[in-house]
Amino acid sequence: MTLTYHSPDGEEGFPGAADVTVTYRLSVEGALTIDYTLTTTAPCPFNLTNHAYFNLAGHVIYVLYSLNEDI
């Protein structure tokens, strides 16, 4: 799966426009590969990362919490 995003010049205070692409690949063996590509029109600091969480237990667990407060 490939996702793309275009950040116009000045967005969030960053110089230059940026085009970001991230591609997720799952191999036949079950290995996940994540590739990032970034193109900018001006020098700009970028730190692309992934914050996904996966359930490696192999089953779905639902935990429901309820918070009741008396004021």
| CA atoms of 9 and 52, how far apart (whole Å) | 28
Task: Give pTM, 2 decimals.
Answer: 0.65
Do residues 24 and 32 lie in contact, with contact meaning Cβ atoms separated by under 8 Å?
Answer: yes
41-52 pLDDT, tens digit per residue, is 999 888 888 887
- Distinct helix (H) and strand (E) counts, the chain: 0, 3
Average pLDDT for 6-33: 93
Percent above pLDDT 90 for the chain: 54
